[in-house]
Structures are given as structure tokens and as C-alpha cells.
A and B are shown apart, each in its own frame.
Chain A
Amino acid sequence: MPDARTRRSSSRGGVAAALAKSRLGVAALVFSVMAAAAPLTVVAGGATAGFQVTGSTGIPLAYVVVAVILGLFAVGYVAMSRRIVNAGAFYTYISRGLGKPAGVGGALTALAAYGPLMQVGLLCGFGVVAEDFMTTHVGLTMPWWIWAYAAWALAAVLGVTRIDLLGVVLSVLLVAEICVAVVLAVVQVRHPSGGRLSVTTLSPSNLLTTGLGAALATAIAGFVGFEGTAVFGEEAKDPRRTVARATFIAVTLIGGLYAFCAWAMSVAAGPDQIVDRATGEGSELIFNLAAPHLPPAVITVGQFLLLSSIFAAILAFQNTQARIVFALAREGVLPALLGRVGKRSKAPVGGSITQTVLAFFAIIAFVLTGWDPFTKGFFWLTVLGGIGVLLLMTITSSAVVAFFSRRDNPAGVWEGRVAPALAFAALAGVCYVTVDNGAALFGVDPTSGTQWWLLGVYPAVFIAGVVWALILRSAKPEVYARIGLGAHSNVAEVESTARHSTTGGVR
């Protein structure tokens, strides 16, 4: 055995260099966020649904506007992420900015939006798209829920095992799906309807129509997961710069891709036709518009990649949900049993299984009641989930404002005051018009009141969270003290460490 002392002094640089080498750079962070965003699902499903529901041609522009709003939001969000532990989960920011009761309310809002709504909605969507794909291309006819359960089972297994090889496979599929989305868009732009390239849908006047709120709400749902970069704050090469750069690059890339693809569809279909065709053809529209100009195999591959993209999103929500449950269980806000970790996989097994069980019963409910898995499953649930994320971002942006308005959290005027205030105003505005357009967004009769039943989920869970936090405050003050700290909830004097580590460079 070589002498440990000489080996060390000769082969190693400083601690910072050694750690930086083992940690993630900008590209890896951007990639992790893109994977959660599931680009082809958003472009094929989200953008067409946007045209259809809002009846507005402003969808491409809505993606640009949302990217700008979220870019503004990210300024304060990233600045705050450097000053707190357990960065990355929105409820942490809410706890630190608006207080612990609001934090638990935010946590439950996230748990409602990500798992039961978004993921179950995507499972329904996967079932419907897979049924279609398998019938057409494989000749295998089985009901949608068989395919939904197949995806459910795979997500359940992957959620607790974390097979590295699968991560590689999903990364390859992600690159492929982005390529396909760009190829389809380029083909569509090269074959404009009526032979003339139209930029009508990019005119700002599009946003001043009645469907504005709905358009923005649909667009914002496509950015879910962009906040994930901050989770890696502690693992990033240079926490100050890497996370900030990665977040802005991710928002720009995602926004640019969505806007370009949505615009391309409007060009190929014709700005006057896009709403009608999106209504009639749904997620097939993106393929139908390019099909005459491409070999059929490309279209088939694209349709397959849409399936893998939806699955990647299902898995991303499974894992996000599991991590939030894990963090809350570590704090003691949820039962400790839910905080269990897989020995070999290091996966948050407790949280993952919770979501698996929940999704199992949710799909059964659709089978037994005969609810339409596309409109009531995929559409309602993902739109409602998207609204939940919008609410969460809005509350978080107000928490960032509140956090930096306190004397003990000094920050620059732009990152601590102006940008967060602008972001909050913009997000609150989007919230208002979204709720105002609720009936149109869900495609229900405004007088039926259905939209209020659906939207009412959020005030209900938020208030439940606040009440639970207040109960903890009087019944278990030691648990209350740890709210918002997640994995760090067991560390004493966390405040002083957090302050120290921000001045110390690497955490």
C-alpha cells in the first residue's frame, strides 16, 4: 500500500478543486431540467391543446411572454436559493419568505399538483396515445387503461430502483425528441400554408384577445420543472454562477423551442386555420402538418418519441413527488414512514410508493366511472396541475419579495427588489386572468360551476396545510421549528451555517 501521505500530497489539488471536479456543470444542469420538461409532449400536446382551448392564435407568443416572466422570477429565486438550505423545493422558499404555515400550505399545493393531478393526467394521456399508436403501427388493440397501467408499473419500479442505464436511455430519447420537434418545425416552416411565410401569430395584438389568460396558463404548464436547477445548488461546480446560468439557459431554450414549434405549426396550418385544425386533430396535428413532406418512418419515430416523452414526464413527476414527500417526512410534517430510503437505490422509496398507490386508484376510478380519459383525465388534470404550479410560482415569487424586504437579507436592488416585484406582479396577473377564464380553460359551461369545483382544490389543500402547520406549532414545536429544512432538518444551528456557507463559497 502506498504511503497515504505522499500519495495525497502528490496527486491532489485543494478541496474546492476536488469537489468541483465531481460536481455538475451548466450543461448537465440544463439537461436535467429539459428532461423533466418533456419537450415533445408540450409541443405536440400542450401547444395544440392551447390553440384549441383558447381559440387564440397567440400561443407561440405566449411561450415567449412566459419565458420572460419566468426569467424575471428566476433572478430573485436563484438569488434566494444561495441563501437558504434545502433549495429547490418551492415550499422551502415560501416557508422562509411568508412563514411556516404558508410553507406547509405550499407543500400540500405542490403535492396535489404534481402527483395526483399532473402525473395521473399524463398516465391517462399516455394510455390514450399508446392505444392509438399500438392499434395503428403494431396492430395490437387493447383499451387505454392497459397501457396506462403499463406506464404506471414501469414508473413504479423505476421510482424505487433508479436504474442508471435507464437514465442513459431516457437521455438519448430526450435528445431524439428535441431533434424530431425541430425537424418537424423546420419542415412546417418550409411549407407554409398558401405558400407565404406568415408571422401573424407572433404579433403582440394576439395577446390582447379574450383567450389571454388561458393562453398564458397553458404555456406556463410547459415550463414545469425549470426550478429544478436550484436543487443542485449544493452539487453544482460553482453554486453562485452555475445554477444561475443553467436556469436562464434552460428557460431560454425551452421557451425558444416551444415558441418556434408552435409558430411553425401555425405557419403550416395557416394562422386562420390553426385553431380549427388543432381542435380536430389534437396531438396528431404536429405530425399531420409535416407528414406530406417527410418519409413515413420519420413520422412513426416521432409518434413513438411522443410516447417516450410522455413517459419521461410521468417518471419526472413520480420522482419530484417522491422527493417532496421525503423532505416533508424528514422534517416530521408527514409520517416518518414516508421518508424511507431504498438501501441499494438511494431512492425516496416511501414517497414513491405513496404516489404509486395513489395513481393506481386514480386510474381505477377512471375505468369504473367510464370518464373519458382524454378530456377528463389528460386534459382536465394536467391543466389543473399546471394551474397549481402557476399558483405555486406566484406564491413563491411573493415569498422572494418578502424575504428580500427584510433587513437581515441584503441583496442588490435588481435581484432583491425590482425583478422579484415585477415577476410577482406578472404572475399574479396571469393567475387572475387564468381564474377569470377558468370555464373556457376546462371547456365547461361557465354557469355549471364545474370550474370552481376543480379550482377549489387549491384553496382547500392550502388551508389544510396552514391548519396542519398551526396544529404542529402547538402540539409538536420541535417539528414546527424544522419546517422547510428538508434533508437538513436534523442539523442544529442551520441558520448560522447557511450564512457561513454563502460567504464561504462551496457548501
Chain B
Amino acid sequence: MHPDVVALGLGGALLAELMLAGRLTSEYGTLVVVETTAPSDDLANAVLARVRAEQPWSVSTWIAALALDAVSDVGDRLSAAGRIRVERPRRLRTLGLTRATRFVPVDKREAWAPAGRIADTIRRGEYLHKLDAVLAGLMVAMGLHHEVLDTWDPGIEQHIRYQVAGFVPADVQDLISRTEAAVGTRVVIG
């Protein structure tokens, strides 16, 4: 995966968490705070604090802004929770070669569980959980769905879009669309 695309996807995901938790929403494309109670998660709390401290910006601006540090922020959170191991190949760096930090899941089965669940649900023709629908929507936005869901079924994208339209709150749907637009803009700019 290209790092820019991962970053934008995670930027969108951080906002999605807060929207689903009822802290943020969007109005005509602008990100708005609706509820200021601190979320239990440190990172989510920090993101909410940042949004509150700023003047109103568009959802797209926030996706781009959070994307700047999203990979390391989410990486830190997962490693602090003991879910992943962070590998920084030291030898390469001393040779003057920089190589991206690798995030390795501690429990592979746990890491792939949501993907397997989503793939199974879709295969059975059932409805996705709200949270899974958001996850699947973000996968499509990043162009990841074929790989993550391990299928080449050309109809899967349409199927996910249909479920997103049906079961995801309107503000999160809009957020997913803007994440997809941000990824697309990256492709165009090169």
C-alpha cells in the first residue's frame, strides 16, 4: 500500500471514530463539534481537543491534516495496547537507507478477524454491522477492498457501497466519500 493512501485512510478513520461516538458531525462539508465529553481513548481525545481548539475547517481539510501524523499516531496507540510490534530496521538506517517502519500484528488472527467477518457476511449476502460497514466503506475509499477481503469478485465494491448507503450515518457516509476524494486527488497529483 502506498503510505499516502494509508495515511489518508487512517485520517478518515480517526474522524469516523469520533463521529460514531457522537462527538463530531459534519454540516455542509464542515466539521462540527456536537459533544465535548472526553472519549476514553487518548488519541481520540487528542483529536477532539485539536478540532475544538481550531476555527471551523472542512472535513476534507481535517482528513488531510490528521493524515500527516495518522500512521505514527495509530501505530503508537496499537503498540501501547500491545496489539502490534513496531519494527524499525536499524541496520538499514545506519547504511544511510531509510526504510519505512513496519507494524507487525502480535496476533495475526486477531488482526485479520474484521476482514474475515466482513468477507463472510458479504458472501452470505447478509447485512453488515454499522462499524463493519464503516470499515468496509473506508477500504473501498482507499481501494483496498479486493486485497483485504481476499476476493476478486467485481461486484463487491457495489455491494459495500450499497450497505454503506443503507447502514452508515449520513455524516460518516459523507466522510467516507471525502476520504475517497482525497485518495483520488493524490492519484491525480502523483
Contacts and interface: CB of A to CB of B under 8 A. Distances in A.
B44 to A, nearest CB: 9
Contacts of B68: 18-19, 22
A138 interface: no
Interface in B159-190: 173-174, 177-178, 180-181, 183-190
B57 A346 contact: no
A487 B8 CA distance: 14
B45 A487 contact: no
B46 interface: yes
Interface residues of B, number: 45
Interface string B44-64: 011001100010111011101
A162 B58 contact: no
Contacts of A319: 190
A425 to B, nearest CB: 31
Contacts of A88: 188
Contacts of B1: 343-344
Nearest to B54: A15
A341 B143 contact: yes
A346 B186 contact: yes
B60 A507 contact: yes
Contacts of A327: 184, 188
Given A15-B57, A19-B61, A4 B45 contact: yes
Residue in B57, B174, B178 whose Cβ sees the most chain A Cβ within 10 Å: B57
Contact of B28 (A340, A487, A496): A496
Nearest to B29: A497
A5 B188 contact: no
B113 interface: no
Contacts of B153: none
A8 interface: yes
Nearest to B157: A336
Contacts of B4: 346
Interface in B17-74: 28-30, 42-43, 45-46, 49-50, 54, 56-58, 60-62, 64-65, 68, 73
Interface in A1-54: 1, 3-5, 7-9, 12, 14-15, 18-19, 22
Contacts of A12: 50
A17 to B, nearest CB: 10
A30 B143 CA distance: 31
Chain B binding site: helix, strand, loop or mixed by DSSP?
helix
B5 A346 contact: yes
Interface in B140-164: 143-144, 147
B58 A500 contact: yes
A501 interface: yes
A41 to B, nearest CB: 21
A12 B68 CA distance: 12
B185 to A, nearest CB: 5
Contacts of B143: 340-341, 343
A83 to B, nearest CB: 15
A163 B50 CA distance: 35
Contact of A347 (B73, B80, B187): B187
A327 B57 CA distance: 26
Given A4-B45, A18-B65, A500-B58, A346 B181 contact: no
A284 interface: no
B174 A492 contact: yes
A4 B43 contact: yes
B50 A8 contact: yes
Given A346-B186, A497-B29, A506-B57, A19 B181 contact: no
A496 B60 CA distance: 13
A487 B187 contact: yes
Nearest to B178: A491
Contacts of A504: 30, 56-58, 61
Given A8-B49, A343-B2, A490-B181, A15 B187 contact: no
Contacts of A162: 190
A490 B61 contact: no
B54 A492 contact: no
B147 A323 contact: no
Contacts of A4: 42-43, 45-46, 73, 76-77
Contacts of A491: 174, 177-178, 180-181
Given A343-B143, A487-B188, A504-B56, 20 more contacts: A3-B42, A4-B45, A5-B42, A5-B45, A5-B49, A7-B46, A12-B50, A18-B65, A19-B61, A235-B189, A323-B188, A327-B184, A343-B1, A488-B181, A490-B180, A492-B173, A493-B28, A493-B29, A504-B61, A506-B57
24 contacts: A4-B43, A4-B77, A5-B42, A8-B50, A14-B54, A15-B62, A18-B68, A22-B68, A162-B190, A231-B188, A231-B189, A232-B189, A326-B187, A340-B143, A343-B2, A347-B190, A487-B187, A491-B178, A500-B58, A501-B29, A504-B58, A506-B57, A507-B58, A507-B61
